[in-house]
Each structure stands twice: as C-alpha cells, then as structure tokens.
A and B are shown apart, each in its own frame.
Chain A
Amino acid sequence: EADIYQTPRYLVIGTGKKITLECSQTMGHDKMYWYQQDPGMELHLIHYSYGVNSTEKGDLSSESTVSRIRTEHFPLTLESARPSHTSQYLCASSNFATATGELFFGEGSRLTVL
C-alpha cells in the first residue's frame, strides 16, 4: 500500500483565490510528480522533481508552481485560480533506484473554481 497523501481531497473556491494543494510521501522517494487529469482524458504531467531544490515543468503547460524544500513534501500552488483550472490533480512519487518508471499515486485533489 502506497504511503502518499494529498490534501484537500475536494476543494471548491472562487475565482482569484490563491490555493495550495499538499502532497506528502513517507517512502523516502526521490522523484515526485504532479499530473492533471480531466474527465475522459489522459493524465498530463505538469511538474516533476528529482529531489530537494529540483523542479521542472512537465509536458503540459500550467500556471501552477511547485516547490521541493523537503524530500517528502511537494506542494502545488495556484496564485490566482480561474475556472479553467478546474480539474483533478494527482500527485505521485517513485524511487530513483528502481529506474523502471513505477509510480505510486495519491488519491487526488479535485479542484473546482467557480
């Protein structure tokens, strides 16, 4: 069973608000990721990190930002939420040592911006 946690699970917020989606893992994994998932569509990588103080943008452009100050924590922030940001955000992690691409996912944060 994976030990990766996301909060909040559900968030409804008004346009223009700042939001932070939290993601924490207790497995000591080096790599962490944020995927955006819309209904009936594939997951798109929006951010990833190889380790502390390392962050990169993914394949899908996103107005969100991330930080990696601690190995276990990888929060995602939207400075000013808009309805176009409504989506499900999935956090994942993996172990550098395995190098096989297996990801462990959190349960997701479903964001609705009104």
Chain B
Amino acid sequence: AQSVTQLDSQVPVFEEAPVELRCNYSSSVSVYLFWYVQYPNQGLQLLLKYLSGSTLVKGINGFEAEFNKSQTSFHLRKPSVHISDTAEYFCAVTRMDSSYKLIFGSGTRLLVRP
C-alpha cells in the first residue's frame, strides 16, 4: 500500500522569502506524484505532477518540486512567496498501474505574512 507523509502541518513564512514544503512517500511499486493547492472555501487545484523524466518539475504560480527516488521525497519549493500563496497544500501519490486512486497526505498550511 502507498502512504504519504507531510511532516509540517503549518509553515509560516514572510512575504518574498523562499519556502519548502516537505513530502515523503512510501510505496513498493513505481508511482506518480502530485501537489495540489486548496485556497479557502475552494476545491483542490493541481499545482504540478511528476510522471517520468526530469526529476525537477515546474508547476503553476512559480512552484517547483524535485523527485528524489532514493529518499522517496517530493518536496515543493518556491523561491519567493506572495501573500496570495496562503493556502493548504496537499501532496498525493498514485500507483502507475492503477492511477485511478490518489492517496493524499494530511496537508501543509502555508501562511504568508507581510
């Protein structure tokens, strides 16, 4: 079975500072990896995904993530955050042979302060 761990439940950061949201996963088979963002009172929106190829993946709103197979990690980064980045961020994984079910982490709340 797959599982996803997001170590930080909340990450406070000042505007224009860099940020990293951590995600580790466990799986006995190859997986696809995703980051979703949820703004207040809204559904989830895909930020970026890793399917294969380059381990550095770029997404929307200036976010990027790096897949590290040896460390089973998929950390999300942004070099300079904005107030509007305040949201809940979810890491998710699905097996390559059954991509119909996403397993989500518990989420990390990014709080950007002025």
Query: Contact mask A83-114 → B, CB, 8 Å, 1/0?
Result: 00000001010100001111101111000000
Q: With an 8 A cutoff between CB atoms, is B80 at the interface?
A: no
- Inter-subunit contact B102/A45 (CB<8 Å): yes
In the bound assembly, the distance between CA atoms of A32 and B34 in angstroms comes to 18
Q: A31-B100, A48-B100, A101-B32 are in contact. Are A107 and B41 (CB under 8 A)?
A: yes
A105 CB contacts on chain B under 8 angstroms? 36, 43-45
- Inter-subunit contact A101/B104 (CB<8 Å): no
**Closest chain A CB from B60 CB (angstroms):** 12
**Residue in B closest to A90 when the chains form the complex, CB atoms:** B43
Instruction: Tell me the count of chain B residues lying within 8 A, CB to CB, of chain A.
Output: 25
Select which of B32, B42, B49, B101 is within 8 A of A48 by beta carbon: B101
- Inter-subunit contact B43/A107 (CB<8 Å): yes
Select which of A50, A92, A102, A108 is within 8 A of B34 by beta carbon: A102
Q: A101-B32, A101-B94 are in contact. Are A42 and B45 (CB under 8 A)?
A: no
Q: With an 8 A cutoff between CB atoms, is A41 at the interface?
A: yes
Q: With an 8 A cutoff between CB atoms, is B90 at the interface?
A: yes
Q: With an 8 A cutoff between CB atoms, is B9 at the interface?
A: yes
Q: A31-B100, A40-B107, A94-B100 are in contact. Are A101 and B34 (CB under 8 A)?
A: yes
**Closest chain A CB from B74 CB (angstroms):** 13
In the bound assembly, the distance between CA atoms of A83 and B90 in angstroms comes to 26
Query: B36-79: which residues lie under 8 A (CB-CB) from chain A?
Result: 36, 41-46, 49, 51
- Inter-subunit contact B43/A108 (CB<8 Å): yes
**Closest chain B CB from A9 CB (angstroms):** 8
Pairs across A and B, CB under 8 Å, 13 listed: A35-B104, A40-B106, A42-B104, A43-B104, A59-B101, A99-B99, A101-B49, A101-B92, A101-B100, A105-B43, A107-B41, A107-B43, A108-B41
| A interface, CB within 8 angstroms of B | 2, 4, 6, 31, 35, 40-45, 48, 50, 58-59, 90, 92, 94, 99-103, 105-108
